[in-house]
Structure 1
Amino acid sequence: MKQIQSVEEWETVLGESNNGPVFMMKHSSTCPVSAAAYRAFEAYETDIPKNFMIVQDNKDISRAIEEGLGIRHESPQLFLVKEGKAVWDASHYDIAQTTIEKAIEENS
């Protein structure tokens, strides 16, 4: 998993979605729900690139994701991005290995 630490890195990830799907997660370092979602995402085995950012450290990236994908901010939040658009997103307890697997099946 790659940690995204700048808006420019986010824009690179968004551009990479034109070559195939990518995951992007907004993670809260202080929330136990986010910690559980992060663990589920981290443990899920896939060839799809997995990226995350820490909301508290990078509010500018969080805003860029919200504006770029047109989806209201929540945390934790996981997106499957394809061709510059979120084809799937989930937040809070909906981020689990079973939902991630279903998102891949439906959108890859």
Structure 2
Amino acid sequence: MNWKKLSTMEDLQSAIEESHQTPVGLFKHSTRCSISATAKDRLERNWSKIDGKISPYYLDLIAHRDISNAIQDTFGITHESPQFILLKNGKAVYHESHFGIQVSEIAEQI
């Protein structure tokens, strides 16, 4: 799995634009939270089921809370951590948090 990092507002805009061509997954991760680390590990271990069908982006919430706030404002989705948001055609079509993040559910949305 090759994460694309969200570290600037331009990266977020690029992800939104990319979602018009291929589904984009935004994973919001707290590097200080064990639940977030577990959710990230589960996502990575099962990613092969959807690899190549979705473009994965990774957001370090501790370093880039401003981008998380922009995601909340842009898509109207309340901030949670960890959180996975699926974008298609510039819109959030699915989101889940904590242990609700399941590759099988993401696959159903693609």
TM-score using structure 1 length? 0.90
Report the counterpart of residue 4 of structure 1 in structure 2: 6
Q: Is 1:52 equivalent to 2:58 in the alignment?
A: yes
Taking the aligned partners of 2:105 and 2:80, their CA distance within structure 1 comes to: 21
Report the counterpart of residue 105 of structure 2 in structure 1: 102
Q: How many residues align structurally?
A: 104
TM-score using structure 2 length? 0.89
Taking the aligned partners of 2:88 and 2:35, their CA distance within structure 1 comes to: 26
Q: Deviations over 1:84-105 (max 9, x none)?
A: 111111101112xxx2222222
Residue identity matched to 1:11: Q
Structure 1 stretches of 4+ with a deviation exceeding 4 A read none
**Contact persistence 2:30–2:82 (CA under 8 A):** yes
Q: Is 1:74 equivalent to 2:80 in the alignment?
A: yes
Q: Deviations over 1:4-49 (max 9, x none)?
A: 1111101100110011211001100000000011112222121111
Aligned-CA RMSD value: 1.1
Q: Name stretches of at least 5 consecutive residues in structure 1 with no aligned partner.
A: none
Q: Name stretches of at least 5 consecutive residues in structure 2 with no aligned partner.
A: none
Q: Is 1:22 equivalent to 2:24 in the alignment?
A: yes
**Contact persistence 2:9–2:67 (CA under 8 A):** yes
Taking the aligned partners of 1:12 and 1:100, their CA distance within structure 2 comes to: 23
